[in-house]
Amino acid sequence: MLPGKEREPIVPPDRGKIVEYLDVPEIPAEIEQVEAAGADLPALSQPMTDDTGQVIATAPALQQVVIVLPLTEAEMNKALHLKIGYSLRWLGEVIDKLAKVSVGRFVYRLSSPD
């Protein structure tokens, strides 16, 4: 670029007016009714029984999910100190991050398979 000469912006050729179409699908009335019916279900405070006293339905219990990691604690410590090029290092990094996000849900594998 020559000194003292200003750059002029590059103007693309006129290709016509840009029109944006927003396609919003119409939701049938039947679908809206089904969604509304499912939203107002009450939570069960006690089990529901029939006339004979037999339990028909109970409130869903919260499940405590425990995930067993694919590494033992010793392998995990070794993996986090390997060079970046090793896949075991990256497995350890991912496991470490998941364990920090979900505290108490992960358990190390007890022993390595032989």
Residue located via tokens 């029984």? 49
Does residue 86 form part of some domain?
yes
Q: With contact defined as beta carbons under 8 Å apart, do 67 and 107 qualify?
A: yes
Its domain, for residue 96, covers 71-107
Distance, in Å, from the CA atom of 58 to the CA atom of 43, rounded to the nearest integer, reads: 9
Does residue 25 form part of some domain?
no
> How many domains does the chain fold into?
1
Does residue 40 form part of some domain?
no
Reported pTM: 0.41
Does residue 89 form part of some domain?
yes
Does residue 43 form part of some domain?
no
Distance, in Å, from the CA atom of 17 to the CA atom of 38, rounded to the nearest integer, reads: 45
pLDDT tens across 9-26, in order? 666 667 767 677 777 777
Does residue 97 form part of some domain?
yes
pLDDT tens across 59-101, in order? 777 777 788 888 888 888 898 898 988 888 998 898 888 888 8
Does residue 65 form part of some domain?
no
Does residue 90 form part of some domain?
yes
